[in-house]
Structure 1
Amino acid sequence: MPVPAGWNTWDVDTHTGMAHLPSGIRIRFGVPGFPLDGFTWRDGLVRLGHHTVDGSYAEVTVEAGGGRLRLEMAGGPGDVLYVRAEGTAGVVAEIDGWQSDRDTTGWRLDTSVPSRVPDRLEFDGEVDVFLAPAGAPGGAGDAGRVLAERRAAAECTLPRSSGWLGDAAAAATRAVTWNTIYAPDLGRVLTPTSRDFVSARRKGFYGSWALHAWDTFFTGLVASTVDREYAREIFGQILPFADPSGMVPNRVSDDRGATLDRSQPPVGALTVHRAYLASGLSAQTRDRELLSGTFPALLTWHDWWPRARRGPHGLLAWGSDPVEGDAGSGTLDRAKRESGLDDSPMYDEVTYDPATHTMDLADAGLAALHIADAEALADIATVLGETAVAQRLRAEASAARAHADELLWDTETGGYRNLRADGKYDPHVSPTLLYPLLAGIPDAARAAALADRLLRPGTLGGDPPLPSVARDDPGYAATYWRGRIWGPMAFLAIEGLRRYDLTAHVRPLVRALLRLFQTEWDTHSHVRENYPATTGEDVRTFEARSDGLMAWGGLLARLAFAELADARPDGWRFAHPGEPAELANLPLGEGRLAVVAGDRLTVSLEGRMLLDAAPGVVVSGYRRTATEVTGFAHGEGDLLVSPPGPGDPVRVCAPGPFRLATPQQMGDLPSA
């Protein structure tokens, strides 16, 4: 996370300007006759351009009143800001004190053309602006050169995609970096759910910032494809708000405080572990600090669930604790909100049990997520040397897996179901009933049969796939959690299918979801809170309840990235997606990784080729250390593998394992 210093888009209320910290000076741009803070994803935002994490380069296009404004801004660490503003109906700008009436004396403003209105910054056409403390070198005449250099640097370092992936990497990146703001009351930088969603002045629901639990963890996972340190800070930003019992609150905000009665789905350890695996090619280069910084709080949160949310049949259920002075606490509505699926039809017929403080419904999705959480925490504990904790968690996961499989499998329907307190299976179907695959609950045959059944076109399949409730469910309405397509839900369901290598199911799902993601980005510059489940539905209106710039929408892009490069517990998997594609600048501890699918599949690190494979070859379990490279080649065709040190690539025939070692390791090197 960038330190709160220098120029960046710190101000939650505007895309079209930058603020300086710690001085509090702000400059905003617009077109004549319209509010400087009026541009949101609903009102006038045309295109989000590059935005580096540190604010050293940002680009945005907006329109209002028939005029269009394009801004390039070069800020970042330090005190000097360069801006190029191009407006078809003119350009207006205002410099003031952000958050308070700060004195702007002592700052030097230089513009390429003079303002055409006395005592007001108003320009025709195009203007270059330089703003810095008095005495700082430079001026508006340097703007073109500086902006070109900063843009080139951004293109070299930010994640990049093309071909089948389109501009998905840029879209996912910008949904994170454009949402990074400064929270004055906390004195720190945050990446909230969405700057529009949280800002009251932008027609949002909170004062100026809010964090939600599972939103934050999914945002961190998306950010892990942008910058390791940036992602680490995002993952950690909500954990300090846990209550004394270890519960991570559903939401905390500046004006409404924390939800003391409820949490949100336990996806913290799962997402942290996924980000850790993707941070390097081996344990030696992965971001161990990410694990050590989050593990204590994530473990305490994990242990909170069975203490606080034991529902029917000894299984976990969503709930809400009564809180003195909070009339809404200890109710069914709040228990639904803990699920994160606020108005899902799955909970239409349930009631709240005041004795357990939970729904009277054992939830298959929650049971599976808690098991997956235990597995991820066990792996994290192993890395950190917490052997006893890892053993305890694995034993717990094994017992919970057997218990859930016994009670939640409905033989009559051939699937997992939520279980009512009266012992009857709930009939509602949603992608959460695929989560048991994420937890490894069924055997391989049962998993495949379940996927066949649930992914039929009239149920959870079709195009676009994975609506938040089955299309043949009586509660389906194609709205919000009653049918819209959500990145988190799709991610968890597809990760479960990948656990069982159900590629024939995964690939069409990922392709359809990528098209959905790309259409919204290419057409509207949106990365959505949720996506339409029916063709032609416009979800841009406020009433549609689909924020237009929410980072977790980038999970749909990340699912597609994993078709080329996927960091798994046993090592990396690299595969050709069947169409030309490129994914570059993935941030690893070793450097920037690039994967290109063309006539062949090539994987390179900082420009050095690691793998060169025929299109029919899939590499799994790939690990690379300073002394050896190991993996397994599947499929048909040839594979070239570069050794860990200097030397020519070695040809390997698929299928089979491979291991290349440095000369001092050659003694036990098997034949390839």
Structure 2
Amino acid sequence: MGSQYTEMHIEWNELLLTIETTVVSKRDLLIAVQVVNNDSQAVNLSNYFVLVNTNYLFYRQGVCISANYCNFVNCTGIGLSNIQFFAIQPQIKISKFDVKHTTTSNNSSSSVHQQKHKIQDLFSSDSEIAAFSLTGGAIGFSSNTFRNLIDIQRSIANARADELQNYQKYGPELSENYRAIHNVIAWNTIYTVYEGVINVVSRRWDFGFGYVMFLWDSFLTSLIRSFDIDGLDVALQTFIQVAKSRTRNIDSTGLLPNYKSGTRISRDRTEPPIGSIMLLQLVKIQKTENLTWFIDLIYPELYANLVWMWKHRMMTSKIHPNISLLVLGSDPDNLPINGDIEVNNLQAARFESGLDNSPMYDYDDFDNKMHKMLQFDIGMNSLFAAEAEALIQLIKYSSLSLVEEYKTLQYWLSMIVPAIESELWNLNASLYLNRAVDTGEFNIHISPTSFFPLLIGLPSVKQAEKMIVQYLTNSSHFCVSSDCHEQPLPSISRSDSAYSDQNYWRGRVWGPHSYIVYTALSHSNYALSEIIQYARNSLINQTDLMWRKEWNLYGHIHENYHGDTGAGCGSNSDPFYTWGAATAFLSIIRKYSYQIRDDVTFWFVR
């Protein structure tokens, strides 16, 4: 995923193009634009041009100048290296249209013009536009060294062969998995003046300055990218930028924000805590890498986030006063600087779950005075415990003195794990469920979060097997079995009235759910259970069939998929979303299995 080769296919009216790039000598960029229409797709190429925009981004002080209709541009900047950009043919006049000045239309339908204007605003001054004719069918570009078209195409062909060879190391059965992961991760890799080279969730999502990073999305994406050593640097940088965005609140604690971008950050709410879980897995993947420095840098932020959650999201049961567990909320004392539509209300608390419109949160149970949702959340409590366990295991990889942190983590686990078992286990249903803080009533909506307690090995083998048979592999609920072919693990039980909505977290299938449940089923406590391992393998096989369907048809890796058909398109599903790669990742980690976690000695009595 740190590849030096990229390939893009473009269809514009009747024109078909490929754009290929590679980098040689670390600094020389090569670009080849090639018309690929066949004889039956004849097109008048004199009507088409390639426009090259050369300038310095993010208001860097510099200028790019080309002589009239020459084939190169010189760029010089204050404190920046000089760059020359060459084309294999001279520029042409573009008097028939003006590409320099794009204005924003007041018409809401003119979204393309608005996007162009926003991108234009990133440049230090009016951009230098160079235009080249496509009449010859191919154009080559190079930086710093002039190269002819044959040389450019040869270098790019070699880079392409190397890239394909890289896919083959996973074998014929998994090479396409890697290819799909590579495509979606690479496409969503950007550079910003604030964070450097990072992965963002999508090219479509924009919370300010053209991008957004969500907490659990970005941590999972970093893990997926780190699987290939070539992608480790960007994976670590992405992880750092999310972890170091932790807020500093008025009570001297701080949360890892629900979202961050170049101009906005959420200060009132966090998201499902999976950073330490992902970090531990990342460290164990990179067995040959010394990541002590990285753990030392990140550990305090991940730990502090749990401190914030313990302080701001714990509530005591009105039914059982000796029990306290985590709830969802939105803290009005720490509002976003640039404003947020949803703050200190039920929807803001829903956003903290990461499951924005899940029917589990259809109840009107937000306490405006306490700024919290009045139900104990099985997903958040299980992930908090799993995070605490992961932080304990990470201590041995760190050079920091973490004695006090270790004691606190032990204490948290000694309190929260027994409380999950006693308060959130529904004996009649044989399942862990959300539960109302004030009435003690169990939430009737069943989602994959009910299986998150397996992350910490909480249910006994017998207890876990009953959950699996009655719900996970049952065709009436989640149908993680060969009976359901390519529709694995919907975000709400198939028996739920909201399942038919098939809108976002109301019945669609999501990569992060599949990955977390896969990790839970992989706990060493259940390694000898044939029932649990059957469910684990079924989940992988079904997920693999699902993502391949959209990938083979359209080249999409979706944000989420239809629970019945496995289709990705429609219903708020971005077709190229980073953590969609988790669906293709499951088969890879099954083959290249590694010990995700060490055995944990529990310090509480079950």
Q: TM-score, normalised by structure 2?
A: 0.78
Give yes or no for the alignment of 1:530 onto 2:560.
yes
Q: For the structure 1 residues 459 and 302, does the alpha-carbon distance in structure 2 shift closer, same or farther, using more than 3 Å as the test?
A: same
After TM superposition, list the pairs within 5 Å mapping 1:123-138 onto structure 2. 123-124=134-135, 126-133=137-144, 136=145, 138=147
Partner of 1:489: 513
Measured in 2, the distance between the counterparts of 1:341 and 1:146 equals: 46
Give yes or no for the alignment of 1:322 onto 2:322.
no
Q: For the structure 1 residues 445 and 63, does the alpha-carbon distance in structure 2 shift closer, same or farther, using more than 3 Å as the test?
A: same
After TM superposition, list the pairs within 5 Å mapping 1:163-178 onto structure 2. 163-165=172-174, 167-178=176-187
The offset of 1:117, in angstroms, is 6.8
Alignment equivalent of 2:282, drawn from 268, 275, 278? 275
Give yes or no for the alignment of 1:149 onto 2:173.
no
The offset of 1:569, in angstroms, is 4.3
Deviations 1:167-215 (A, max 9, x none): 011111221122111224x2622211112223xxxxxx64412111111
Unpaired runs of 5+ residues, structure 2, are 38-42, 67-72, 75-83, 96-130, 318-323, 600-606
Unpaired runs of 5+ residues, structure 1, are 1-51, 199-204, 573-672
Match of 2:269, as an amino acid? R
After TM superposition, list the pairs within 5 Å mapping 1:103-122 onto structure 2. 103-105=64-66, 106-107=73-74, 110-112=86-88, 120-122=131-133
Q: For the structure 1 residues 139 and 222, does the alpha-carbon distance in structure 2 shift closer, same or farther, using more than 3 Å as the test?
A: same
The offset of 1:311, in angstroms, is 2.9
Match of 1:178, as an amino acid? W
Measured in 1, the distance between the counterparts of 2:395 and 2:389 equals: 10
Contact 2:21 2:31 in 1 (8 A): yes
Partner of 2:112: none
Measured in 1, the distance between the counterparts of 2:25 and 2:375 equals: 52
Measured in 2, the distance between the counterparts of 1:114 and 1:137 equals: 13
Alignment equivalent of 1:336, drawn from 350, 365, 386? 350
Partner of 1:236: 240
Structure number with the higher helix fraction is 2
Q: TM-score, normalised by structure 1?
A: 0.71
Measured in 2, the distance between the counterparts of 1:151 and 1:524 equals: 21
Match of 2:32, as an amino acid? R
Deviations 1:198-240 (A, max 9, x none): 3xxxxxx644121111111011011011232222112111122
Give yes or no for the alignment of 1:454 onto 2:471.
yes
Sequence identity of aligned pairs in percent? 25
Measured in 2, the distance between the counterparts of 1:366 and 1:473 equals: 21
Question: Bigger CA drift: 320-329 or 426-435?
Answer: 320-329
Partner of 2:273: 266
Match of 1:459, as an amino acid? H
Contact 2:92 2:133 in 1 (8 A): yes
Alignment equivalent of 1:220, drawn from 219, 222, 225? 222
Q: What RMSD, in angstroms, separates the aligned Cα atoms of the two structures?
A: 2.5
Partner of 1:252: 260
The offset of 1:132, in angstroms, is 2.5
Partner of 1:310: 314
Partner of 1:466: 489
Partner of 1:411: 427
Give yes or no for the alignment of 1:356 onto 2:370.
yes
Contact 1:58 1:73 in 2 (8 A): yes
Deviations 1:273-311 (A, max 9, x none): 11111111xxx6453333222111111111111101013
Q: For the structure 1 residues 397 and 275, does the alpha-carbon distance in structure 2 shift closer, same or farther, using more than 3 Å as the test?
A: same
Measured in 2, the distance between the counterparts of 1:238 and 1:221 equals: 13
Alignment equivalent of 1:516, drawn from 518, 543, 546? 546
Partner of 2:7: 59
Contact 2:197 2:234 in 1 (8 A): no
Deviations 1:45-70 (A, max 9, x none): xxxxxxx536x321111212022111
Contact 1:309 1:357 in 2 (8 A): no
Give yes or no for the alignment of 1:181 onto 2:195.
no
Q: For the structure 1 residues 61 and 405, does the alpha-carbon distance in structure 2 shift closer, same or farther, using more than 3 Å as the test?
A: same
Q: For the structure 1 residues 439 and 356, does the alpha-carbon distance in structure 2 shift closer, same or farther, using more than 3 Å as the test?
A: farther
The offset of 1:548, in angstroms, is 1.2
Give yes or no for the alignment of 1:96 onto 2:96.
no
Deviations 1:515-544 (A, max 9, x none): 11111212111111111212174x434xx2
Structure number with the higher strand fraction is 1
Match of 2:521, as an amino acid? L
The offset of 1:241, in angstroms, is 1.5
The offset of 1:110, in angstroms, is 4.9
Partner of 1:557: 584
Give yes or no for the alignment of 1:295 onto 2:295.
no
Number of corresponding residues = 504
Q: For the structure 1 residues 390 and 173, does the alpha-carbon distance in structure 2 shift closer, same or farther, using more than 3 Å as the test?
A: farther
SS in 1 for 2:493: coil
Alignment equivalent of 2:440, drawn from 418, 423, 429? 423
Deviations 1:379-404 (A, max 9, x none): 01122254623354244324321111
Measured in 2, the distance between the counterparts of 1:387 and 1:536 equals: 46
Give yes or no for the alignment of 1:195 onto 2:203.
yes
Match of 2:2, as an amino acid? V
Measured in 2, the distance between the counterparts of 1:473 and 1:165 equals: 35
Measured in 1, the distance between the counterparts of 2:7 and 2:433 equals: 48
Contact 1:228 1:287 in 2 (8 A): no
Question: Bigger CA drift: 517-526 or 330-339?
Answer: 517-526
Q: For the structure 1 residues 53 and 182, does the alpha-carbon distance in structure 2 shift closer, same or farther, using more than 3 Å as the test?
A: same
